[in-house]
Structure 1
Amino acid sequence: MKQVTLEEAKKGIEQNRLYFLYLFGTNCSVCHALLPQVEDVLEDFPQITREKLNVHEIPEAAGAFSVFTIPVLLLYVDGKESIREARFVNIESFRSSLNRIVSLLD
């Protein structure tokens, strides 16, 4: 997953039909433990553009995305937020939500 700046993330949201953003922190153990699981799920959805953003390196991103805890998983469909999961994420529930959204768009 490519790490991006706030500006690149905003462009990604605008320019991609399906855009996933993973917001994490440098010293966040939950963030680092969850990322490989999220990447495994996203492998089943090649149509989703995926990127990550470090809110410790870019603190203004927390305000831009209304983030109060990390990690945060965001999925945008046609520029609109469709999924928001934070902190403790149920991976199977996340996979199910992605399946539902992607199947509606096919």
Structure 2
Amino acid sequence: MQKMMNLNEIKETIQGSPSVLLLVKAGNCGVCESVQFKMSELLKSYLQVKGMYVFKEDVPEITAEYVVFSAPTLLLFVEGKEIYRVSRFVRFDELKHILQLYEEKLE
């Protein structure tokens, strides 16, 4: 997973990649760390999905750009469009199901 440090870089990556899973996290957040670990493990099965994370403190404008009110928030983009969003309580079985639905589009 790639750490992102500015909004333009995030937007360019989302537009330039077939699929992106973005984690918006907060510093000193144990849940965020757990979600990041599980997300990186899940993405080992979906190599076509680019994994990125950003600390909302490092890029404060991320909260306004993607309407993120809490951390952790996971956003899945396919062909530049947001197709899935989940905050705080991430159900990885549901995320895996969504990735499987879009699997042929992701390749």
Where on the TM-score scale, by shorter chain, does this alignment land: which range? Answer: over 0.9
Structure 1 residue 19 displacement after superposition: 1.3
Equivalent residue number for residue 69 of structure 2:
68
Specify the alignment match of 1:87 in structure 2.
88
Q: In structure 1, what is the Cα distance between the partners aligned to 2:106 and 2:2? A: 25
Question: Where does the alignment leave 5 or more consecutive residues of structure 2 unmatched?
Answer: none
Contact 2:18 2:106 in 1 (8 A): no
Partner of 1:30: 31
The Cα offsets for residues 3-49 of structure 1, whole Å up to 9 and x where unpaired, read as 11211110011101111111101111110111111111111100111
User: Runs of 4 or more off by more than 6 Å in structure 1?
Assistant: none
Query: 2:98 maps to which residue?
Result: 97
Report the secondary structure of 2:102's partner residue: helix
The correspondence of residues 53-64 of structure 1 with structure 2, limited to 5 A, is 53-64=54-65
> Which structure 1 segments of 5+ residues have no match?
none
Q: CA deviation at 1:104?
A: 4.7
Spell out the pairing of 1:15-26 with structure 2 (5 A cutoff): 15-26=16-27
Contact 2:19 2:106 in 1 (8 A): no
Say if 1:6 and 1:53, in contact at 8 Å, map to a contact too.
no
Report percent identity of matched pairs.
Answer: 28
What secondary structure does 2:8 align onto? helix
One-letter amino acid matched to 2:32? C
For 2:54 and 2:106, the matched residues in 1 are separated by 26
Q: Secondary structure at the match of 1:75?
A: strand
How many residue pairs match? The answer is 106
The answer to whether 1:11 aligns with 2:15 is: no
SS state of the match for residue 95, structure 1?
A: helix
Q: CA RMSD in A?
A: 1.2
TM-score by length of 1: 0.93
